[in-house]
């Protein structure tokens, strides 16, 4: 898979996932767990992809407390003011994009992409991502990045049993992307109150 911006330049850190068409295969049990950490007043990773039905832990590795919340339709929840691992993992049982915030540190921003598939990956610095373990069949391939202002239409991918070379799907964003995340190591102390 490859992802480029409107000028044809590769875009890194884009989520690419393939959802099987037709009846979904049975999910593995016990449930998978994933971790969204909080380090140096940032969510780590900034973007996490999980399959629908995954439990996500939200440890706080900072010395200061965080207050994690989301008002996204895919998951509304709140973990009031805590340090360390104060709460049990949170179940993400609906597909969609969950935007995470911290009510104490408003500049903290994280995302959980909940997808109906175990086949996902991120693009590398060349804008390329490889999906492995795809059984023969029809898939809808989709991409997502918080930098995008648009939803690109899913592309169809057919994996045949006899394929030697993996098929390639190309995506191109048409609208200008938001700039990549910059943790901001400048000379200023920003005014907040």
Partner 1 sequence: MVRLLTPTVIVGLAWAGVTTAAEHSEDRHHFSLQLALSYTSASTPLVSWTEGGVGKLRYDENNDGFTGARAFAEYRGQITPTLSVTAIADYVDDASAGLDLTEAYLSWLPVPKSPNRTQWRFGAFYPPVSLENTGTGWSSPYTRSYSAINTWIGEEVRVFGAEWSMRRRLGGPASPHRLRFLAAGFYGNDPAGTLVTFKGWSLHDRQTRLYDELPLPNGNALRPFLKIDQQPGYYAGLEWRYAKLLLIRAIHYDNRADPNEFSGGEWGWDTRFNHIGTQVQGPWQLGIVAQWLQGNTVWILGATPGGQIVGSGPLISTDFESSFVLLTRQLKGHRFSVRYDDFDVSDGTGQVDNGHGWTLAYQYKATPRITVGAEWLSLDTWHPRWSFLGLNPSATERQLQLGVSIRLGK
Can residue 184 be called a binding residue for partner 1 (CB under 8 A)?
yes
Binding residue (CB under 8 A) for partner 1 from 24, 25, 78, 170: 78
Say how far apart CA 150 and CA 159 lie, in whole Å.
27
Binding residue (CB under 8 A) for partner 1 from 2, 103, 121, 172: 103
CB closer to partner 1 out of 85 and 178: 178
Can residue 65 be called a binding residue for partner 1 (CB under 8 A)?
yes
In the block, residue with structure tokens 């009031």: 80
CB closer to partner 1 out of 18 and 112: 112
DSSP state of 38: E
We find the least distance from the C-beta atom of residue 151 to partner 1, in angstroms, to be 11
Stretch that binds partner 1, among 5-13, 17-25, 73-81, 113-121 (CB under 8 A): 73-81
E strand intervals along the chain: 2-4, 15-20, 33-35, 37-39, 42-44, 47-51, 54-57, 66-72, 75-82, 90-92, 96-102, 109-115, 120-122, 137-144, 155-159, 170-172
Can residue 146 be called a binding residue for partner 1 (CB under 8 A)?
yes
Can residue 190 be called a binding residue for partner 1 (CB under 8 A)?
yes
* Side-by-side strand order, sheet with 54-57: 33-35, 54-57, 90-92
The answer to whether residues 169 and 142 touch, using CB atoms and an 8 Å cutoff, is no
In the block, residue with structure tokens 């964003």: 173
Can residue 71 be called a binding residue for partner 1 (CB under 8 A)?
yes
We find the least distance from the C-beta atom of residue 63 to partner 1, in angstroms, to be 8
Say how far apart CA 45 and CA 104 lie, in whole Å.
19
CB closer to partner 1 out of 13 and 51: 13
Can residue 151 be called a binding residue for partner 1 (CB under 8 A)?
no
Q: What angle do CA 181, 187, 193 make, to 5 degrees?
A: 80
We find the least distance from the C-beta atom of residue 130 to partner 1, in angstroms, to be 25
Q: Which residues form the interface with partner 1 (CB under 8 A)?
A: 63-65, 67, 69, 71, 78, 80-81, 99, 101, 103-104, 106-107, 109, 111, 146-147, 149, 178-179, 182, 184, 186-193
């Amino acid at each position: 898979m490859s992802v480029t911006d409107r000028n044809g330049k590769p875009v890194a850190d884009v989520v690419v996932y393939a959802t099987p068409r037709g009846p979904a295969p049975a999910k593995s049990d016990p449930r998978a767990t994933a971790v969204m950490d909080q380090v140096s007043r940032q969510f780590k990773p900034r973007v996490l992809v999980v399959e629908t039905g995954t439990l996500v832990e939200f440890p706080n590795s900072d010395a200061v407390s965080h207050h994690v919340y989301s008002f996204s339709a895919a998951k509304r929840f709140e973990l009031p003011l805590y340090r360390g691992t104060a709460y049990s993992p949170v179940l993400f049982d609906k597909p969609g994009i969950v935007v995470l915030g911290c009510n104490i540190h408003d500049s903290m921003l994280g995302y959980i992409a909940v997808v109906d598939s175990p086949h996902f990956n991120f693009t590398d610095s060349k804008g390329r991502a490889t999906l492995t373990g795809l059984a023969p069949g029809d898939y809808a391939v989709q991409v997502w990045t918080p930098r995008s202002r648009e939803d690109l239409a899913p592309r169809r991918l057919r994996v045949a049993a006899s394929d030697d070379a993996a098929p390639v799907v190309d995506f191109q964003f048409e609208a200008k992307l938001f700039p990549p995340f910059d943790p901001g190591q400048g000379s200023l102390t920003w005014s907040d109150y």
